[in-house]
Amino acid sequence: MKRLAPWLLLTLLLAGQASAATPLPPDSVYQFNVTLTDQDGHAQPLAARRGQVQLVSMIYTSCAMVCPMIVDTMKLTRKAVAEPGRDKLALLAVSFDPARDSVDALRSYAATRKLDMRYWTLARTELKDARPLAALFGLQYRQLPDGDFNHSSELILLDTDGRIAARTTVIGRVDPVFVAAIDKALAEH
């Protein structure tokens, strides 16, 4: 096995530290200190997603109509993104129903919906963090007496620093203006 030249190793280490040490922009959603637990049970801060262009929304897995449409729209939108950037686009769906959306429920939903987990993350927060996270994304929801939810149906584009770069309320089909914003964000990455 070849060894890296000492100067190259030092350069790589310093570059990694500089990137991690770069302060977040004040309008970054990563300023919010929240832990996400994914469908595999891995917990990490939202800010750990820094460095990726992401398509984000909030759903709940027991939803029978709108949330599956949101997920399908995220799939369609990813498919509409130009190559080769498409493979750099991360997809994040966070539950606003952590009381019912356990890690097992998220994993089952991913399997049922045939989500490609190379690109997708389904996540949950603690109950106390769900509403503030939704507010941070500009999404609203309220639980109904039967346990279902009324909620916003939007897709949000985050740039690599967690700033909201674009959003769309177009659900059920591709929004070409939103796809163009994703292509632009990926090209700048």
Query: If you search the block for the tokens 């952590």, which residue do you land on?
Result: 98
Residue-wise burial string across 116-152, b where 16 or more C-beta atoms lie within 10 A, e elsewhere: eeebbbbbbbeeebbeebbebbebebeeeeeeebebb
Residue 6 to residue 138: CA distance in whole angstroms? 47
Among 14-18, 37-41, 76-80, 148-152, the least confident range: 14-18
- Give SS3 for 92: strand
- The pLDDT score that the predictor gives to residue 63 is 95
Q: What is the domain partition of the chain in residue ranges?
A: 25-188
- The pLDDT score that the predictor gives to residue 152 is 94
Under 8 Å between Cβ of 118 and 89: no
Under 8 Å between Cβ of 53 and 157: yes
Looking at CATH, the fold of the domain delimited by 25-188 is given as Glutaredoxin (3.40.30)
Tokens of 145: 């007496």
Q: Which of 59, 175, 159 is nearest to 109 (CA)?
A: 59
Q: Which of 135, 153, 133, 126 is nearest to 30 (CA)?
A: 133
Count the neighbouring beta carbons within 10 Å of the beta carbon of residue 53. 22
Summarize the confidence of residues 130-155 as an average pLDDT. 95
Q: Which long-range contacts (CB under 8 A, 24 or more apart) does 106-109 make?
A: 106/38, 106/39, 106/61, 107/39, 107/40, 108/61, 109/39, 109/61
pTM above 0.85, yes or no: yes
66-80 helix and 176-188 helix, angle to the nearest 10 degrees: 60
- The pLDDT score that the predictor gives to residue 21 is 67
Q: Which of 22, 19, 49, 46 is nearest to 32 (CA)?
A: 46
- The pLDDT score that the predictor gives to residue 75 is 97
Where residue 189 falls among pLDDT bands split at 50, 70, 90? Answer: confident
